[in-house]
Amino acid sequence: MVKDLLSIVIPAYNEEENIEPTLAEIITVMNAKSIPHEIVVVNDNSKDKTPDVVRKMQDTHKQIKLVNRTPPGGFGRAIRTGLENFSGEYVVIVMADLSDDPEDIAKYYYKLKEGYDCVFGSRFQKESKVIDYPKVKLYINRIVNKMIQLLFWTEHNDLTNAFKGYRYDVVQTILPLRAAHFNITIEMSLSTLIRQYKIALVPIHWYGRKWGQSNLKLRAMGRRYLATLIKIWFERILILDDLLAEKSVVKPEDEK
């Protein structure tokens, strides 16, 4: 674990049109703010030229690391792979389609540096900005997040969003993760929430993708989200004492 280093994990599946501008904007902002960083791009069995684009950018940006996955694919599996290959004291999960604002990545970093264990961004705070969110997905998002809020008695209202930040030792505590698809978003956020970590709530900006289509299939995800919710809800009710005991003994690796 490298002290003060920010690791940015980006799962990518068929993002050849989006990945270069996404990486370029992130690097520009991180360099402008002098934030030490690495970017771990996880190529999740793309069928297009996504890995070729990333390799080309590596020629001039040595902080980019490319990890190629083998089948089976899945958004959750890609994030799990990224979490096995980052080196920073802090890690942020970022989408490959320009939907997450690099300025918000910097906000996450500063909050983690303040001493927070996690940073949960919300697209639904007074200061947030959301552009081109598909209406049907927006309605479903608000219903699902309200249900999760009630189940877990939390102020956090955007728990299904992957764009969150964590300290290295927090990630080690919640491993191993099991979700293979987009349900990993709530597996990570709720696993840290029930362990009573110190979480900062930050309003963020979100933009609809410019090229391609989202890989999130709402109908297929329903059963997976439900399975993850049930699992973590029962962990909170039945074995929270065990989880908190393990949390207290997890220590970061020696700093480099």
Q: Give, for all 256 residues of the chain, the pLDDT tens digit.
A: 999 999 999 999 999 999 999 999 999 999 999 999 999 999 999 999 999 999 999 999 999 999 999 999 999 999 999 999 999 999 999 999 999 999 999 999 999 999 999 999 999 999 999 999 999 989 999 999 999 999 999 999 999 999 999 999 999 999 999 999 999 999 999 999 999 999 999 999 999 976 555 555 566 678 999 999 999 999 999 999 999 999 877 666 655 5
Return the SS3 of 108: helix
Looking at residue 254, what is its pLDDT?
A: 53
Q: State the Cα–Cα distance between residues 234 and 91, nearest whole angstrom.
A: 27
Q: How far apart are the first and last CA of the chain?
A: 6
What residues make up the domain containing 116?
A: 2-247
Is residue 238 included in any domain, yes or no? yes
Is residue 256 included in any domain, yes or no? no
What is the enclosing helix (H) or strand (E) of 21?
helix 19-32
Is residue 120 included in any domain, yes or no? yes
Is residue 141 included in any domain, yes or no? yes
The pTM score is 0.94
Looking at residue 247, what is its pLDDT?
A: 87
Is residue 252 included in any domain, yes or no? no
Residue 36, both tokens: 């030490």
Is residue 197 included in any domain, yes or no? yes
Is residue 147 included in any domain, yes or no? yes
Q: Residue 68's domain is classified under what CATH number?
A: 3.90.550.10
Q: How many domains does the chain have?
A: 1
Phi/psi of residue 59, nearest 5 degrees: -60, -30
Q: Which amino acid belongs to residue 215?
A: N
What is the enclosing helix (H) or strand (E) of 77?
helix 75-83
Helices (H) and strands (E) in the chain, counts: 9, 9
Is residue 223 included in any domain, yes or no? yes
Looking at residue 217, what is its pLDDT?
A: 59
